[in-house]
């Protein structure tokens, strides 16, 4: 959190969104760990718990990937200012922008999937953990909202650069609709 609080461009909102997703996945794992009865195995609950564990690890990777993708945008922007007519520089700029949109899109997608899977097993979780489940879902919603805000900003730059973004816009709209308009 100290790095996030620092007056530096990275990590920023995209990394924070991924961290929120990791917290949602971790809380979901905890709820399911307590809800699993060793005397009565439940393949679906165990499967969702395993999915959330993998998601948590992936979210933590996305924290760093988001920061790295924005650093590539910053480097490409500097190179573009230094050599505005260079086609290779323009190509690097577009690639950096695309990466900066795709990384948070992956965060939003993963958070949406985690929230959906957790919702499917919610009726079978221990009621004493209801507040933990609510908090896990809130973390997933925060991850989706923050990640999609980053996607939108980067799509605007891609559009201005003349890049085709229809597929990215469709996925953004689908995730926004699927997450209740977050």
Three-state secondary structure call for residue 92: helix
The pLDDT value given to residue 12? 86
C-alpha distances out from residue 113 to 24, 79, 102, 124, 138, Å: 11, 37, 16, 18, 14
- Which residues does the chain have with pLDDT short of 50? 182
Task: Domain ranges for the chain, please list them.
Answer: 2-178
Rounded distance between C-alpha atoms, residue 55 and residue 52, angstroms: 5
**pLDDT single digits (tens) 45-64:** 999 999 999 999 999 999 99
The pLDDT value given to residue 111? 98
Residues 2-178, CATH architecture: Up-down Bundle (1.20)
The pLDDT value given to residue 164? 86
Which runs of E-coded beta strand occur in 49-165? none
Rounded distance between C-alpha atoms, residue 35 and residue 165, angstroms: 43
């Amino acid at each position: 959190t100290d790095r996030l609080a620092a007056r530096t461009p990275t990590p920023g909102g995209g990394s924070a969104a991924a961290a929120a997703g990791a917290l949602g996945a971790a809380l979901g794992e905890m709820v399911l760990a307590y809800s699993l009865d060793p005397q009565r195995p439940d393949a679906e609950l165990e499967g969702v718990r395993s999915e959330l564990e993998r998601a948590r690890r992936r979210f933590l990777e996305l924290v760093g990937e988001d920061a790295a993708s924005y650093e590539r945008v910053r480097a490409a922007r500097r190179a573009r200012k230094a050599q505005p007519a260079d086609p290779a520089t323009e190509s690097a700029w577009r690639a950096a922008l695309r990466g900066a949109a795709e990384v948070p899109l992956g965060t939003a997608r993963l958070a949406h999937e985690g929230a959906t899977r957790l919702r499917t097993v919610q009726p079978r979780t221990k009621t004493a953990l209801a507040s933990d489940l609510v908090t896990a879902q809130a973390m997933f919603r925060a991850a989706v909202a923050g990640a999609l805000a980053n996607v939108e900003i980067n799509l605007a730059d891609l559009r201005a650069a003349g890049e085709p973004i229809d597929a990215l816009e469709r996925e953004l709209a689908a995730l926004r609709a699927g997450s209740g308009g977050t």
